[in-house]
Amino acid sequence: MNQLLIARRASAVLYNFLINHADEASVYLIPANICPIVPAIFIKAGVRIIFIDISLETYCIDWSKCEEWANTHEESICHILYAHNYGYVDPNFGNKLARWKGLFPDSLVIDDRCLAEPSFLKQNELSDIELYSTGYSKLLEIGHGGWGIIKNQLKSVKWSDDFDQEAHEHLLDLFHNALDFNNKVDVDYSAYWLDQRKPIITAGKLPTLIKDGLHQSLERKKRLNTIYAQYLNEWALPNTFQLWRFNLWVEDAESLIKHVFEHGHFASRHYQSFAFLFDQKVPLNSALLGRHIINLFNDHRYDEVKAVELAELIRDYLSKK
């Protein structure tokens, strides 16, 4: 029977899963464009990680490269963290997961759906855990909340009141500065930047909160995406990748986002690869994504008026290039 584990943040669920399954022979293959807090959690849990490049068809970890690494490192038990980038769920995900499990039956697969539509029903029984989040800037943002649907009951769950908000913010600042200046940083893995406090809402209340907010969130995204597409369709990714934010592929994302901020708007560049922070090379496709992708907000931070202003600003800028 699946276990539902709710926490204040999905990162705490991930941490508990990792410390329950940690062993010296294991290594996790994780996408090179993952949010940097994720590899930090693996290291905090004492788990070895290898960054694997993404596929330019799905913008998610490349299964074939995972197979290649596993086949050339037979001394290790290879596990995978698969993150559905931009909330996109590959229709062939189930078949690819089944193939992987057939080849490597001892492998654990973490199905990270934190940017996808939240659910309390497990979407694929072959994965060992599905992760969801309603925290900051997720598909549905209620300010807190993360959960995992776990295939096999965890032996123990570790909670702690020793959370330091300043340490958490300092860690995020380190990551941002590292990208800005292309510098490595020293992460203090003993600091209390991981929020392991007990959840503030129960399993009974969370589904109601999600049901009430999800429809409104999706409707807003649909309205704003329609505006962005009217102005920027030439540079837009296919519709299947536009669930979380509205994503553009442009020649020089760094210059464009600077132009956006200079004119009183904002956007993001997720996810640039942080592999270099962890002493690993940034793979080719992940580097391409980091150079060319810009994400436009389609949540409560923008309304129709601001979306039109931003779309016109970007269209005028790109049309002159």
Q: Where are the domains of the chain?
A: 3-181, 206-319
The SS3 assignment for 130 reads strand
Question: What would you measure as the largest C-alpha separation in the chain, in angstroms?
Answer: 59
Question: What pLDDT does 205 receive?
Answer: 81
Question: What pLDDT does 11 receive?
Answer: 98
Q: How large is the C-alpha radius of gyration of the chain?
A: 19
The SS3 assignment for 104 reads coil
Residue 276's contacts (CB-CB under 8 Å, 6 or more residues apart) are 182, 184, 282
| Topology adopted by domain 3-181 | Aspartate Aminotransferase; domain 2 (3.40.640)
- Residue 52 and residue 29 in contact, taking contact as beta carbons nearer than 8 Å: yes
Residue 215's contacts (CB-CB under 8 Å, 6 or more residues apart) are none
Question: What pLDDT does 163 receive?
Answer: 97
- H/E element, 148: strand 146-150
- Residue 13 is encoded by which pair of tokens? 């669920």
Distance (Å, whole) CA 267 – CA 228 = 13
Query: Regarding beta strands 48-52 and 26-31, do their DSSP bridges make them parallel or antiparallel, or are they unpaired?
Result: parallel
Each residue's pLDDT expressed in tens, for the chain with a length of 321 residues: 899 999 999 999 999 999 999 888 899 999 999 999 999 999 999 999 999 999 999 999 999 999 999 999 998 999 999 999 999 999 999 999 999 999 999 999 999 999 999 998 899 999 999 999 999 899 999 888 999 999 999 999 999 999 999 999 999 999 988 887 777 778 999 999 999 999 988 888 878 878 888 999 999 999 999 999 999 999 999 999 999 999 999 999 999 999 999 999 999 999 889 898 888 888 999 999 999 999 999 999 999 999 999 999 999 999 987
Q: Any idea which architecture 206-319 has in CATH?
A: Alpha-Beta Complex (3.90)
- Give the phi and the psi of residue 19 in degrees, each rounded to 5: -70, -20
List the beta bridge partners of residue 78: 27
Whole-number Cα distances in Å, 255 to 203, 260, 291: 44, 9, 10
- Give the phi and the psi of residue 101 in degrees, each rounded to 5: -65, -30
